[in-house]
């Protein structure tokens, strides 16, 4: 994806300047800049580079600047911290200032640097600019991806001057058959997706953005994820979900520029202009009834998915990537119902993760799939696909959608003078 995301190198020449922070610390009156990089220079990988597990061990940084945001077509990292936020102010200038502060913090953290003036060495009377738990850690391919929810336009459209800028494609998701949505895990005015190979790096990123935004935004809900369940790297091993099956074999690869253009990136004629080069994200928290699943026969499990559990091959085939013969599968098989050939070519890019969040109080694990899907238009992607799956998929006996959100993900940050949401808030640029 070298044509859509330029590699940038970390600026390792910056020297730490004497502290000029006021006692209110980071984020109160704008950014404090000029901290030295933590850990020195790091390698920078381009979005779409074929990064295998061995390469991930280098702790390389993923380029922050580019036409599209990193964290979409980027090779999927091992860990996730996803957070949604609700806005707490009607002050447009304060919100834009926070977005600029967030951008600078994201730019530094993805390069392996500390936020602002760092976790120590500043005024003893003021809280540090960085919380410090990522000191000494490599960038771990950290990517940070921001999105704006429908409620931002509904609640703050007039105050922020963006009421007429809500994309037609940014629709509220309908109620699907079987949904049992928890309001405390649904919606959000904006979101940040942090992906990295080190969970502490991902958590550190969200924690620092929440700290910078305190008073302007508050976290609404968040989700930790592990064990990626899909891949955007063509030659990588397809990951398994908590049911033990390979899923997403035909996922769009980060190197497939034609498919990304067709199915993921918003085009110039799609509208509105501020979304060109962006995408639309659907996040769904899907609870798996794994205790029931674990007592289901192997044959039924394979019939439910339409694949064998060992190789991941479709019914009647020998290898995972063999072209499936859909009619050989049961009519309710997940693969058959979700396949593009069964849905007029509908294709989405998936970046899901497994989760385990303790128990439900009834002796059962609260575990499942945190589903993340990017597409060019939700109305032509997730919505018609999920309507079909929710009505017919045999997998529904073993899962339930319990959380949901949708976001407009703007284009990438072009250079050091650009910032998250600049195209939406153009008057402030």
Digits of tens for pLDDT over the chain (429 positions)?
433 333 333 333 333 333 333 333 444 433 333 333 333 344 555 444 444 444 455 689 999 999 999 999 999 999 999 999 999 999 999 999 999 999 999 999 999 999 999 999 999 999 999 999 999 999 999 999 999 999 999 999 999 999 999 999 999 999 999 999 999 999 999 999 999 999 999 999 999 999 999 999 999 999 999 988 877 776 667 889 999 998 777 789 889 999 999 999 999 999 999 999 999 999 999 999 999 999 999 999 999 999 999 999 999 999 988 999 999 999 999 999 999 999 999 999 999 999 999 999 999 999 999 999 999 999 999 999 999 999 999 999 999 999 999 999 999 999 999 999 999 998 643
pLDDT of residue 58: 66
Contact (Cβ atoms closer than 8 angstroms) between residue 146 and residue 102: yes
- pLDDT for 204 equals 98
Q: How far is CA 244 from CA 43, 302, 385, in A?
A: 34, 10, 23
Q: Which helix (H) or strand (E) holds 399?
A: strand 399-409
Half-sphere exposure of 215 (CA within 13 A, CB side): 11
What pLDDT shows up at residue 239?
A: 85
- Answer whether 0.95 is exceeded by the pTM: no
Cβ contacts of 338 within 8 Å, gap of 6 or more: 385, 389, 393
168: exposed, middle or buried (Cβ count in 10 Å: 0-12, 13-18, 19+): exposed
CB atoms within 10 A of CB 380: 17
CB neighbours of residue 4 within 10 Å: 21
């Amino acid at each position: 994806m070298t044509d859509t995301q330029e590699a940038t190198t970390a600026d390792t020449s910056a020297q730490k300047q004497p502290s000029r922070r006021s006692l209110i610390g980071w984020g109160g009156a704008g950014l404090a800049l000029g901290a030295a990089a933590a850990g020195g220079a790091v390698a920078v990988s381009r979005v779409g580079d074929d990064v295998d597990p061995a390469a991930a061990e280098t702790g390389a940084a993923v380029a922050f600047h580019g036409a599209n945001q990193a964290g979409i077509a980027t090779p999927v990292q091992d860990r996730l911290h996803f957070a949604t936020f609700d806005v707490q102010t009607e002050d447009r200038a304060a919100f834009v200032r926070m977005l600029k502060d967030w951008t600078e913090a994201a730019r530094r953290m993805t390069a392996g640097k500390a936020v602002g003036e760092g976790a120590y060495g500043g005024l003893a009377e003021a809280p540090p600019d960085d919380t410090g738990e990522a000191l000494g850690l490599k960038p771990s391919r950290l990517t940070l991806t921001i999105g704006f929810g429908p409620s931002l336009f509904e609640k703050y459209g007039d105050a922020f001057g963006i009421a007429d800028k809500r994309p037609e494609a940014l629709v509220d998701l309908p109620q699907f058959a079987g949904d049992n949505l928890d309001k405390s895990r649904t919606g959000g005015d904006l979101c940040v997706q942090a992906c990295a190979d080190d969970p502490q790096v991902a958590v550190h990123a969200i924690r620092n953005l929440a700290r910078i935004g305190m008073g302007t935004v508050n976290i609404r809900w968040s989700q930790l994820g592990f064990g990626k369940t899909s891949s955007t790297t063509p030659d990588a091993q397809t990951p398994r979900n908590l049911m033990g099956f390979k899923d997403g074999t035909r996922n769009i690869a980060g190197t497939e520029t034609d498919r990304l253009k067709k199915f993921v990136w918003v085009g110039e004629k799609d509208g509105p202009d501020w979304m060109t080069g962006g995408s639309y994200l659907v996040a769904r928290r899907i609870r798996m009834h794994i205790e029931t699943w674990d007592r289901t026969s192997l044959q039924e499990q394979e019939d439910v998915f339409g694949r064998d559990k060992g190789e991941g091959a479709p019914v009647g085939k020998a290898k995972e990537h063999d072209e499936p013969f859909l009619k050989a599968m049961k009519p309710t098989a997940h693969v058959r119902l979700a396949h593009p050939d069964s849905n007029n070519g509908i294709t989405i890019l998936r970046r899901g993760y497994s989760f385990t969040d303790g128990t439900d109080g009834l002796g059962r694990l609260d575990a499942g799939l945190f589903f993340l899907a990017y597409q060019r238009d939700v109305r032509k992607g997730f919505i018609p696909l999920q309507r079909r799956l929710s009505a017919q998929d045999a997998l529904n006996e073993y899962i339930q959608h319990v959380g949901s959100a949708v976001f407009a993900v703007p284009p990438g940050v072009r250079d050091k003078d650009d910032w998250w949401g600049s195209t939406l808030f153009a008057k402030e640029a």
